[in-house]
Structure 1
Amino acid sequence: MSHPMLLVIGSGPRPMRGYLLEQTAAHYPLLLINDAPLTWQKPYVIDHEVADLSDPIAVNTVAASLAVRWPIAGVLTWDEFHLMAAARIAHSLGGRPGNTFAAVAAARDKATSRQRFAAAGVPSAASTWVHSLDAAASAAERVGYPVVLKPAAYAGSIGVIRVDTITDLPAAWAIASAGAAHQGPEGDGVLVEEYLHGDEISVETVTHRGVTSAVAVTRKAVGFAPYFLETGHSVSAGDPLLYEVAPVASAALEALGITHGVSHTELRLTPEGPKVIEVNARHGGDLIGELVRLATGISLPLATAALACGEIPNLRPTQQRSAAIGMIYPPAEGIVTHRDLRPGSDQHLEHFQWLCDVGDTATLTPSSTTPNNIRAGYAVVSGDSAHDAQQHLADVLARADVKVTSAVPPRRVSNSGPPYAV
């Protein structure tokens, strides 16, 4: 029996999002609305339209055109910035399965999220919404240093920075406000938040008709302080931590009114217990969904597709393994003169991708609008246990060789790609 046809809003960049389109297209016929003419996406879709994805009228127009040509059973997106468009189109096509516009807006706007969490008793960071440096200084004084500044409606760690003292605040405000200037229309301003001490994790969940199932917990490595750049992730089937943090993630989704879809809820394991950083009503970035599949056998892309057309997703694990991803960084700033994966055992290597080319400008200074511009590549490995996966990952990363020269760079931008929402 053939599967229903689905409409995808935005493919995202291939290095980090390509697996979502590829795995879904293997089981469902797909239509795509994209912001640029198709290249690598062509084999995976049967029809498409190109539109400015930030323009609701343009997206609605081409969605209506596709709906005339094809019987669309559901609408989905994997991109943080297209969640509102997907919700709007699902509703306009006669009420296809999806979250309400209000629920998606609450997840997109972190100021609203904090208000909903507080009202529902969901543990999260103390937070104040501000629009000026003076207001940020007053809020930081009340919260107590260190604090975190973050744009209210951005993603991918863009504009997010830790501030340890009032002396550091003006420079940090410049970074956060630069990010806020480009954030989505669902929110505005900057949040001044309590810094949560503890390890950072995320919970990958699937919600069907208001009932949430926690599928996996992702343990994270974060670096490049005072920024919060995720340098690696790992997933293990049967991780006992999942049972501790799943109720908090479920409560956060319920507080926002999320009743549908795959979600990625970030938390910190504080001395007082798990506290929510934010809820993302879509797949986690950095190939986290692929880590879940390699570790458990559960396909989050197929779960998203099933939910989009009103089907019950298959969440039965088929294996008990571990998987990890680690980012590759240049050794210094300069021009990339060489990149190579030195010979070694690739038995456990699942994916390897360079994000820079010879001749690109390498940097170790995160941009306020594209902080992941410092990445040179990544590796994904699997193993029988979390320890094994980390050992395999360390071996591959040690063999990834990037050389740069400190010569004055030509006028050329890095090829590390756009920011990836994680």
Structure 2
Amino acid sequence: MPIAQPHTAAPLLILGSGPPLMRQYQFERAAADQPLVLINPEPPTWQQPYIVDCEAADLTDPMALGAAAEALAARWNIAGVVTFDEYHVLAAARLAERFGLPGNSPDAALAARDKALSRQRFAAADVPSAASTWVHSMEAAASAAERVGYPVVLKPTSHAGSIGVTRVDSVGDLPRGWDIAAAAASQGPEDQGVLLEEYLDGPEISVETVTRRGLTTAVALTRKSVGFAPYFLETAHSVTAGDPLLELVAPLAARALDAVGITDGVSHVEMRFTADGPHVIEVNARLGGDRIGALTRLATGVDLPRAAAAIAAGREPDLRPTERRSAAIGMLYPPGDGVVTTRRLLPGASGTHDEQFHWLCEVGDHVTRTPSNETPNNTRVGFAVVTGTTIGQARGNLAEVLSRAVIEVHPVTQQAA
């Protein structure tokens, strides 16, 4: 039910919310300068302190979403539309266009969502990226892999968070990689098939950018750690104010955004730094996940959720850095597949480096360590966020906190028939 409010303020419309441990800080910061109204599949719970009105609607149903937006627009003078969720980027662009509000065009939002279309635009603009082929069967994937040369990467065209992404080192590994990528694609909101891509070797990074009226500012560089090969499960991210690599890759990030057509908003541009220099992996036309916005604020003082809200509402964002330190987040994965029997955090020197630790599981939950075609999503059981005066100190603090997390899993065996 809508929350009764006077028809006065000009709020920002947010599409979707997601889990509070990863999204609450975004709502808190976005609400710092203007009221928020929300369209979400479920009635508000943790979102309640940050919103003044809400409509429940299936965000994947254009008619239901449009009706919910019109209902809110009848009660409020909507100032802008924003989402922090990858799967609602295109819907947000369409609503902004429908109401004549600032934002990216639906064409640009679609190009950012669809990795195959992104690759086409990168190639047209001479943005270094990976050779890529859209495939619709394992036979087509095998043929493309022979042309590209192993190792290759299989990934869904329109997912996020490395879901369903697998490295394939030989033709013998192809069936398993195909099954995982195809299952992830079919379970996503858009089943647009699978890409087979050239494997780019080198450290993974992302550039956190703010674009307004076509002018892009690179705010921070995030260094990413991945594990569990041949998968690409994200195990840690770190942000350091004044990272010397940022100046080198910032122009490429701006070129990639321009190639896709991004003109407004906060974006998360993923790259691999290969022996031939940086290559763009993908453009995400929204704030990076895994609390990267929080890391950026801890390390630099720049508030990315607040900047995203300002741009969506047609205001100039404040990008002045006020901090100069490092921040890191580390993910905890289960020791194996099964049922969680124990989870506890051993005592330590808490509070000395802005330590935060959060569990993402409960005793009794069933967890899996690595993806499969049955469960292509990443399984995480907890995470920690820390700071440090240097990147080395932040990483050391992170390792110390994660070492105190105890998680035990009892394997589940198949019962005899």
TM-score (norm 2): 0.94
How many aligned positions are there?
407
In structure 1, the partner of 2:124 is 119
Q: Is 2:50 the partner of 1:44?
A: yes
In structure 2, the partner of 1:389 is 394
1:67 pairs with 63, 67, 73, which one? 73
**SS of alignment partner, residue 374 of structure 1:** coil
In structure 2, the partner of 1:275 is 279
Aligned runs of 1:340-355 on 2, under 5 Å? 340-346=344-350, 347-355=352-360
1:313 pairs with 307, 317, 323, which one? 317
Contact 1:237/1:320 (<8 A) preserved = yes
Give the aligned residue type for 1:55. D
In structure 1, the partner of 2:91 is 85
**SS of alignment partner, residue 178 of structure 2:** helix
Deviation per residue, 1:18-40 (Å, 9 max, x gap):
21012212332000000112111
Q: Is 2:39 the partner of 1:26?
A: no
In structure 2, the partner of 1:133 is 138
Contact 2:337/2:412 (<8 A) preserved = no
**SS of alignment partner, residue 184 of structure 2:** helix
The Cα shift of 1:328 comes to: 1.2
The Cα shift of 1:75 comes to: 0.6
The Cα shift of 1:335 comes to: 2.1
1:382–1:4 distance in 2 versus 1, CA, 3 Å: farther
**SS of alignment partner, residue 349 of structure 1:** coil
Contact 1:3/1:27 (<8 A) preserved = no
In structure 1, the partner of 2:171 is 166
Give the aligned residue type for 1:46. V
The Cα shift of 1:372 comes to: 4.8
Contact 1:159/1:369 (<8 A) preserved = no
The Cα shift of 1:408 comes to: 4.8
1:56–1:98 distance in 2 versus 1, CA, 3 Å: same
Deviation per residue, 1:245-283 (Å, 9 max, x gap):
111111000001100000001000000000001000001
1:373–1:153 distance in 2 versus 1, CA, 3 Å: closer
Deviation per residue, 1:200-225 (Å, 9 max, x gap):
00000000000000000000000111
Q: Is 2:299 the partner of 1:295?
A: yes
1:215 pairs with 169, 194, 219, which one? 219
The Cα shift of 1:171 comes to: 1.6
Give the aligned residue type for 2:212. H
**SS of alignment partner, residue 148 of structure 1:** strand
Distance 1:253 1:366 in 2: 31
In structure 2, the partner of 1:231 is 235
Give the aligned residue type for 1:328. L
**SS of alignment partner, residue 72 of structure 1:** coil
In structure 2, the partner of 1:420 is none
2:249 pairs with 242, 245, 248, which one? 245
The Cα shift of 1:87 comes to: 0.8
Distance 2:349 2:84 in 1: 33
In structure 2, the partner of 1:110 is 115
The Cα shift of 1:330 comes to: 2.2
Give the aligned residue type for 1:150. K
The RMSD of aligned alpha carbons is 1.6
Deviation per residue, 1:96-138 (Å, 9 max, x gap):
0000010001111111111100010000001111111111111
In structure 1, the partner of 2:385 is 380
Distance 1:276 1:294 in 2: 26
Give the aligned residue type for 1:104. A
The Cα shift of 1:184 comes to: 4.0
Query: Relative to structure 2, which stretch is displaced further, 332-341 or 221-230?
Result: 332-341
Distance 2:9 2:276 in 1: 46
